[in-house]
């Protein structure tokens, strides 16, 4: 597998919104559980104390998607992702699941317009339907929105 391009060190957008995806190790079905969802929500609700706001999200059995707004002065995306994976890993350990839990790294995309955010969310929310887990996206119990975050066109 080819090396991924390096992440930009500096963005010229104030408070960017990232679309983040993280996958479980060997795509093990570890995440679509009530206790993992609860740990995810607890983590998300504490985010503003650390400069992070989770908007819409979907926890699939073997990966997660989340829209995340960060105050880059307080937290970086790699640190935020490492923290989320750590919290979910602790919950998996408590439940008796043996490590490893995560693929190395994560995928991220900086949203560049309101339209791209809407298109991404429409695609993401349909994941449980495409996977045959529910017949309508609104029936999937492991998705939602923690904080309303929206794309803004302000630049530095």
What are the domain boundaries of the chain? 17-145
pLDDT band at 73 (very low <50, low <70, confident <90, very high): confident
Is the pLDDT score of 152 beyond 80? Answer: no
CATH code for the part of the protein at 17-145? 3.30.70.1290
- State in Å, rounded, how far the first CA of the chain is from the last one: 36
Residues whose CB is less than 8 angstroms from the CB of residue 66 and which lie 6 or more positions away in sequence, other chains included = 19, 20, 54, 55, 56, 57, 58
Greater confidence (154 vs 54) lies with: 54
Give the tens place of pLDDT for each residue, 10-57: 444 456 889 999 999 999 999 999 999 999 999 999 999 999 999 999
């Amino acid at each position: 597998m080819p090396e991924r391009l390096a992440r930009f060190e500096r963005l010229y957008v104030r408070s960017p919104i990232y679309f983040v995806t993280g996958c479980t190790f060997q795509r093990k079905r570890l995440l679509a559980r009530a206790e993992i969802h609860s740990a995810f929500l607890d983590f998300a609700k504490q985010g503003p104390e650390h400069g992070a706001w989770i908007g819409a999200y979907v926890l699939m059995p073997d990966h997660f998607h989340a829209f995340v707004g960060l105050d880059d002065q307080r937290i970086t995306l790699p640190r935020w992702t490492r923290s989320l994976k750590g919290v979910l890993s602790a919950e998996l350990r408590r439940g008796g699941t043996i490590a490893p839990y995560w693929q190395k790294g994560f995928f991220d995309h900086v949203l560049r317009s309101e339209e791209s955010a809407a298109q991404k969310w429409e695609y993401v929310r349909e994941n449980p339907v495409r996977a045959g887990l529910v017949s309508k996206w609104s029936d999937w119990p492991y998705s939602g929105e923690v904080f309303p975050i929206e794309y803004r066109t302000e630049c530095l």
